Amino acid sequence: MTKKPFTRVSMHTALSVSVLLASGAFAATANAEKFGFGTTPTAEEIAAINIDVMPDGRGYPSGSGTVAQGKEIYTQQCASCHGDDMQSVKGTGADALIGGRGSIGTEKTKKTVESYWPYASTLFDYIKRAMPFTAPGSLTNDEIYAVSAYILHKGNIIDADATMNAETMSKVEMPNKDGFIPDPRPDVFNYR
C-alpha cells in the first residue's frame, strides 16, 4: 500500500470514531429500539455509579470528616465485623484493617490497609462502594472521609487531629506506596 491511501483510510477511521462518539447517546436509544432492551442512562444514573477515586485525587467528592467523628461511625457501623481493634472478628470474613507494617514479602505477610495498600484513595473508594458490608452505599461522603480518617489514624498514618477531605486525603502517603512495580504499559494505570 502506498502512503497516500493509508493516510486517507486513517482519516476516514478517525472521522467515523468521532462521529460515533458524538452520537453515543443516540446510538444507545437506537439500540434500545432495535433490540428491545436497554435505555439511555440519565445523568443521575451515570453520576450514581461514577464514583471511582484515583490516587492523584481525581474523583474525590466534596465533604470532610475528622478522626474523632470517624471513631463514632466505626464503632457503630464497622466494629461488629472488623473489631474494635481493627483485627477483624472471627467468623465474619472481614479483613484486619491495620497492622502488619513491614511484613509484606516476609514469611509472616499480613496484608492490611496499613501494610499493603499503596494509595489512600482506594480506602475511600472501597468504603464508598462496598461498606458497611450489609448496607453498601449508605454512608455520606462526610462519613466516609471520617471513617477513613479514623482507620488511617489507627494505622499510624495520620495524626489524631487530622481532617480528611479531597485535598488532604490525596496527599496521604501510604507506608507501602513504593511496594509495587509500576505497570510498564503506556497510559495504563499511569497515575503518577
Catalog residues that contact ligand HEC under the rule CB under 6 A.
77-78, 80-82, 92-95, 97, 112-113, 123, 126-127, 131-134, 147
Task: Say how far apart CA 138 and CA 187 lie, in whole Å.
Answer: 34
Residue with Cβ nearer ligand HEC (59 or 126): 126
Residue with Cβ nearer ligand HEC (40 or 63): 63
Name the minimum Å distance from CB 162 to ligand HEC: 16
Name the minimum Å distance from CB 48 to ligand HEC: 19
Q: Say whether the peptide bond before residue 41 is cis (omega within 30 degrees of 0).
A: no
- Region of 53 on the Ramachandran plot (φ > 0 left; ψ -120 to 50 alpha; else beta): beta
Name the minimum Å distance from CB 62 to ligand HEC: 20
Which among 167, 145, 165, 149 is positioned nearest to 157, based on CA atoms?
149
Residue with Cβ nearer ligand HEC (123 or 166): 123
State the cell numbers at 99. 497492622
Name the minimum Å distance from CB 74 to ligand HEC: 6
Name the minimum Å distance from CB 123 to ligand HEC: 6
Residue with Cβ nearer ligand HEC (98 or 166): 98
Exposed/middle/buried for residue 6 (C-beta within 10 Å: 0-12, 13-18, 19+): exposed
96 touches 117 (CB < 8 A): no
**Buried b or exposed e, range 76-87, using 16+ CB within 10 angstroms:** ebbbebbbeebb
Residue with Cβ nearer ligand HEC (22 or 130): 130
